[in-house]
Every structure is written in structure tokens, then in C-alpha cells.
Structure 1
Amino acid sequence: MSILIARDQGIASPALVPAEGDLARDHAGAALTIGLINNMPDAALKATERQFMKLLQAAAGPRRIRFHCFSLPSVKRSPEAKWHVDSEYCDLVDLKHQKFDGLIVTGAEPIAPDLDQEPYWRDLTELIDWARVNTRSTIWSCLAAHAAVLHLDRIERQRLPSKCHGIFDCEAVTGDPLTRDAPAPLKVSHSRLNEVTERDLAQAGYQVLTRSAQAGVDVFVRQYASRFVFFQGHPEYDALSLQREYLRDIGRYLAREREVYPALPVSYFDAATEEKLARFEKRAKHQRHPALTNDLPALTLRTDIAAGSAAAALFRNWLRYLGAEADAPLPAPLTSEPPVPR
């Protein structure tokens, strides 16, 4: 998928592709080239495309963006999702034959007990090594962030006592340009079972930019030839993303695909909805059956979740960084990468 994103272009579909002539008419040097390596689970695949496209469009201002979608070929897909990737996405082989200003890499739903046992591990580590010297900056989101620091510095993620799931107030702890003019606090969606700790990151030389008293480290960075930006959370999530995940997990519980009933997302539903969902949980535990999903109550979100405000600030500043660096020539793509320092 290759798309030219401009401020006034509507994004009605993730498969909206301009004609080749439109791409050719774009003024040389006026656009940033950004790749999305979308490894999200099948159910979130298309939503993730839309979220990042709309986010980049809102953050870019007058600047145009050449946006290319990829996915690691070793991520297991359903036939329908595989067809979408095969027909709409660019081939990952083409990534290393082009020059990218920035990359955004998402995580994949884990299926192995350890990250380095995942079927996509080799593809992902090759991408990490390539991005270190062939992009101006790369964003690693959620599980991709955990995988990157494991590969780069052998920082092991730690299992949390319970899922970190909800909207969390995060504070900027440095004056980094990435958080300039960001709202205080930054309200960020987190949805994860594991974390990397601030102590481990600091010992390895990473700089923490934002943190939450409840959720821990949020955004952190490390400078290589490329500036690596890591998100433990999901600033790109739209207002309903956590709701969709929560309802998915309820469905899995009722279908006996998971044994533990999901906890409510933190600071997300309004008080009346939380009361209704608590009553539904008691009923679900006594009448566990997939058909019970038909009786789920209407859901209302809190009015103060500020969906998208954190992402708008972070990505606007990220694009400014890429634009300021654009005058400095990128090196030619490497055919092999230097070894990662240990």
C-alpha cells in the first residue's frame, strides 16, 4: 500500500491509493517518506492502518507524506487477513531498496512464551538492525518496543501482576523536543501484560521521556544513527480501541478461550457504565455462554479521556524532527548491517 497523504485529502479507506500521476506531481523533497510495519492482530489490522494515516495527516500540517504499509511475512495471518496484506501492502523486500525518513513498527499478538521464540523474531531483528542506520527515526510501539530493547540490549520484559489496560495520566520528565507543547498530563492508552522497567532502561542508556505513576514508563528514546522512539502505550488508539479489546476479551471468556474474566479498563467508562458492567460480570460468571454477549449493556465512555490529544502532540513533534533532518542526506541503503553492540 503506497499512499500520498495530504492535509486536504480524505481518508475514507485504508486502501485509498492515488494515481501514479499524483505521486509524480508531488514536488521532490516536499514529502516525508514513512513506512508502517503493521504486525497487529488480524482484527486490528485495518483499524491500525486508519489510525496511523489519520494521525499522520492531522500532525503533518502542510507537509505531504508518502506512506507505505508493510507487514512481517512471518506473522501468522488468517486467509482473509493474508489476502489483504498480499494485495494491499508493499513487499517487505522493497523496504531495503528505498530511503525512508521514518518507520512506525507495531507489535504482534504473542503466541510463544518468550519473544525470541516468536516465528517472526528473525524478520523483526533484521528490521531493527536495518532501521538503526537507514532511517532518521523509527517508532517502536508496545510489544515491538519490548522486542527491540531485548534484541538491542537484552533487556527482558517483566510480567505484570495484572493487565495494564486503560487510560493513564503520563507526565513529561524531560524537556525533549518530542514532548514540546504536549498537554499535561498526557492521557495515553495502555494495553499490555508486560513491562520494561525504568531501572533496566536507565542502566542500558535509554532516556525516559514520559512516565505514569500507575502504568510506569510510557515513552523512552535511544540515539543511534537513527533516533529510536519507544512507546509502551498506544497513543494512536482511537476512543473506542480499548472498548473493542475489552469486548473481545469478554467474548473469549464466554467462549472459554480464556479462563479469567477481563478487568475493566482504568479511567475509561463512566461510573454508570462501570456499575452495569460489574453486574454483567457477576451474571457472566454464573451463566457462562457465548450467547450472553447479546445482553451486554450500552457503554458510555468518560468525557475526559482526551482521545488522540497525546498522539497529536507527539507525532507533530516527530514529523518536525524528521522534516528538520530531511536536509541531511541519508546514507545509501546497506546490504548488510553492522553487528549490534552488546
Structure 2
Amino acid sequence: MPVIVHRPLPAVEILQEEGLDIRFAPKERGSIRLGFLNLMPEKEVCERQWLRLFAQVDVNIEIHFLFLNRWTPKTTSLDHIRQYYSPVSDLLQLDGLVISGAPLGTKEYDEVGYWQELEEIFDYADDIAESTLYLCWAANAALYHHYNIPRKQKARKISGVFGHRIVRPHPLVQNLTSGVQFPHSRHAEARQQQLFAHNEIQVLMHAPNAGAFLAADDLRRRAFIFGHPEYEADTLYKEFRRDFDKGLSPQAPEYYFLDEEGKELPTAFWQASGVQLLQNWLQAWVAK
């Protein structure tokens, strides 16, 4: 079924060339209305990666990309924002809200320029959407804001493609099996002991070498993804090269390269499981 967008995002043509049913159709409506608050600095990459997954679910979705009202992005042109995005205050009623991650793992939350506004959005998200899906940095930030679970800086960056154990049965992990692999990429994570012990949160999927991947608050229909099902085949490699070029001496992503020399990249096989994960979220918690 198609994904419908009301603004002519550059990703639309790219994904149509891949054979995906995504439409720029300002007058059409989807059966599910999603807002996507994009906090990533490379917004076009984020748009393309997540629209690719949503375009493969078996639900007719209408997606609106959102920007913060009181924050001016420093890495994306204002022309792009004005042309393709809506202010987050414009959409007062949604079926689902997605809040992306951001590469802010080494900063304290109150050092983030838009932290106060983001906290306000965390507070009213439950009132404007049936369910909220928090991604990566936003997932850890929401755990801190809602449940007072702090982050712990890691001695080295968690980076690689890891196998996961399904911790418990749940609608969000339907049709996924233990061993399912997803990329992780982060410098810090919510303190795992507090996350697992919290009485309002269930950890649903976990990698022994990378920590929690998926958690849920059933009462409030909040879902938290700590990894990256949206990553393209070369995303971890590009991050590794970026950090290397900055002189950060990064370790190569684990369980990622297909050869010992680190030259042969995998296919993005994890995306199919990411589509299933989104399908589960939409059917279990978002669809009316």
C-alpha cells in the first residue's frame, strides 16, 4: 500500500525508482496519519531511509515531516525546511508520532539547544497521538525525561550489526525471531539495569554485545527503538570513515564487513525485519 506525502520531498522520486509505492498527493489522505519529527542533521538521508521502510508496510500511511518551532537547524537549509516540512505545532491530532534520533550521544541533555522544546513535545505527545515511536537518541532522551533513567557513556562506541534475543512475546515483536539482526550505532545508552528493572517498561529485544534494541510502555503506548533498522548498507561504513577522518581512532563496526580487510559491505538485509517491526507497531498500537 502507498505512502502519501503532501510535499514533494526529494526522496519520493528516488524511492519510486526503487519500485516503491510512495506518492506526492496533497489532496489524498491515508488511513493512518503519522507525524515524523526529524532531528537528524542530514535530514534528506533520514527522510529517504525511513520512508523506504514505511513504503513497504501493508498499511496506507500519510506522513508529515515536522520541525521544531523554536529551533533553527544549522546543517539543513531553511529552504528545505520551509518547502518540505510543517511546524510541529500545526498537527494537533495524529494517529502516530515518530521522533528521530540525533548524533548527540556525547552531550548532556540540558546542553542540547532545543531540549526544553523537546521536553514539551514529550509531555504532550501522548495527547496528540495514539502512540509515539522514539528512535535511538530520542529513545534514550525520552527514558530520561519520562522515567528518570539516565544514560551511561560507553568506553567505546557501540557500532555494528548484532543478533538479538526476543526477551518476551509481545505484539511489537510478532513474526520476528530470536537471532534477528539490526545495526547499532551510539556512544551512550540508558542504564541497562534500571531499564530492565523499571516496572512500567518491558524490554522486548536485546543484544548481548549491544544492549537493548526495543522496549515498550504498554499503558501509554510508547515504543523505543535503540538501534537502526533504517540504515542503508553503507551507513555504518560512512560513519566509521567520518570518525576516522576526524582523528577519533574508531574501531571498525562489529559483525558488519564480509571480509577481513573491511572492504566488502553486506546488503541491508535487516531492513526487511525493520519493515516487520513498523508493521507490528502500526497494527498493534496506531491503526484505529
Which TM-score band (shorter chain)? Answer: 0.7 to 0.9
Which residue of structure 2 lines up, in the alignment, with residue 36 of structure 1?
Answer: 36
Q: Post-superposition shift, 1:312? A: 1.6
Which residue of structure 2 lines up, in the alignment, with residue 308 of structure 1?
Answer: 271
Residues 173 and 280 in structure 2, CA contact (< 8 A), matched pair in contact too: yes
Distance 1:75 1:214, change over 3 A: farther
1:90 equivalent among 86, 91, 94? 86
Distance 1:19 1:72, change over 3 A: same
Match status 1:215 vs 2:210: yes
TM-score by structure 1 length? 0.74
Provide, for residues 86-124 of structure 1, a one-character-per-residue CA deviation record: whole Å limited to 9, x for no partner: 22101122023xx21111111223287311231111111
Task: Give the 3-state SS of the residue equivalent to 1:109 in structure 2.
Answer: coil
Aligned residues: 275
Provide, for residues 2-33 of structure 1, a one-character-per-residue CA deviation record: whole Å limited to 9, x for no partner: x716xxxx93258x863434x1xx4xxx6100
Structure with greater proportional strand content: 2
Which residue of structure 2 lines up, in the alignment, with residue 270 of structure 1?
Answer: 258
TM-score by structure 2 length? 0.87
The one-letter code matched in structure 1 to 2:211 is: G
Which residue of structure 1 lines up, in the alignment, with residue 103 of structure 2?
Answer: 109
The one-letter code matched in structure 1 to 2:88 is: L
Match status 1:156 vs 2:156: no
The one-letter code matched in structure 1 to 2:100 is: T
Q: Post-superposition shift, 1:75? A: 5.0
Provide, for residues 135-171 of structure 1, a one-character-per-residue CA deviation record: whole Å limited to 9, x for no partner: 1111111110111011112111001111001101111
Task: Give the 3-state SS of the residue equivalent to 1:129 in structure 2.
Answer: helix
Task: Give the 3-state SS of the residue equivalent to 1:103 in structure 2.
Answer: strand
Task: Give the 3-state SS of the residue equivalent to 2:250 in structure 1.
Answer: coil
Q: Post-superposition shift, 1:76? A: 5.3
Q: Distance in 1 between matches of 2:176 and 2:255?
A: 20
Task: Give the 3-state SS of the residue equivalent to 1:168 in structure 2.
Answer: strand
Q: Distance in 2 between matches of 1:187 and 1:268?
A: 11
Runs of 4+ in 1 over 4 A off after TM superposition: 73-76
% identical aligned pairs: 28
Task: Give the 3-state SS of the residue equivalent to 1:78 in structure 2.
Answer: coil
Moved more, 69-78 or 163-172: 69-78
For structure 2, the residue ranges without an aligned partner over 5 or more in a row are 6-10, 16-21
Q: Distance in 2 between matches of 1:323 and 1:39?
A: 22
Q: Post-superposition shift, 1:183? A: 4.0
Distance 1:79 1:234, change over 3 A: closer
Distance 1:218 1:301, change over 3 A: same
Structure with greater proportional helix content: 1
Residues 112 and 118 in structure 1, CA contact (< 8 A), matched pair in contact too: no
For structure 1, the residue ranges without an aligned partner over 5 or more in a row are 254-259, 275-298, 327-342
Task: Give the 3-state SS of the residue equivalent to 1:193 in structure 2.
Answer: strand
The one-letter code matched in structure 2 to 1:315 is: L
Which residue of structure 1 lines up, in the alignment, with residue 8 of structure 2?
Answer: none
Provide, for residues 187-220 of structure 1, a one-character-per-residue CA deviation record: whole Å limited to 9, x for no partner: 1111101111332023332100000010011111
Distance 1:228 1:241, change over 3 A: same
Q: Post-superposition shift, 1:252? A: 2.0
Q: Distance in 2 between matches of 1:217 and 1:111?
A: 16
Q: Distance in 2 between matches of 1:170 and 1:49?
A: 26
Distance 1:74 1:235, change over 3 A: farther
Q: Post-superposition shift, 1:69? A: 0.1
Q: Distance in 2 between matches of 1:145 and 1:240?
A: 23
Provide, for residues 315-337 of structure 1, a one-character-per-residue CA deviation record: whole Å limited to 9, x for no partner: 1111212455x1xxxxxxxxxxx
Which residue of structure 1 lines up, in the alignment, with residue 192 of structure 2?
Answer: 198
Distance 1:223 1:134, change over 3 A: farther
2:61 equivalent among 41, 62, 65? 65
Residues 39 and 75 in structure 1, CA contact (< 8 A), matched pair in contact too: no
Moved more, 240-249 or 80-89: 80-89
Which residue of structure 1 lines up, in the alignment, with residue 24 of structure 2?
Answer: 18
Which residue of structure 2 lines up, in the alignment, with residue 125 of structure 1?
Answer: 119
Task: Give the 3-state SS of the residue equivalent to 2:32 in structure 1.
Answer: strand
Residues 142 and 232 in structure 1, CA contact (< 8 A), matched pair in contact too: yes
Which residue of structure 2 lines up, in the alignment, with residue 54 of structure 1?
Answer: 52
Which residue of structure 2 lines up, in the alignment, with residue 229 of structure 1?
Answer: 223
Residues 106 and 188 in structure 2, CA contact (< 8 A), matched pair in contact too: no
Task: Give the 3-state SS of the residue equivalent to 2:12 in structure 1.
Answer: coil
Q: Distance in 1 between matches of 2:193 and 2:99?
A: 24
Higher gyration radius (CA)? 1
Q: Distance in 2 between matches of 1:110 and 1:76?
A: 16
The one-letter code matched in structure 2 to 1:273 is: E
Q: Distance in 1 between matches of 2:270 and 2:51?
A: 16
The one-letter code matched in structure 1 to 2:223 is: V
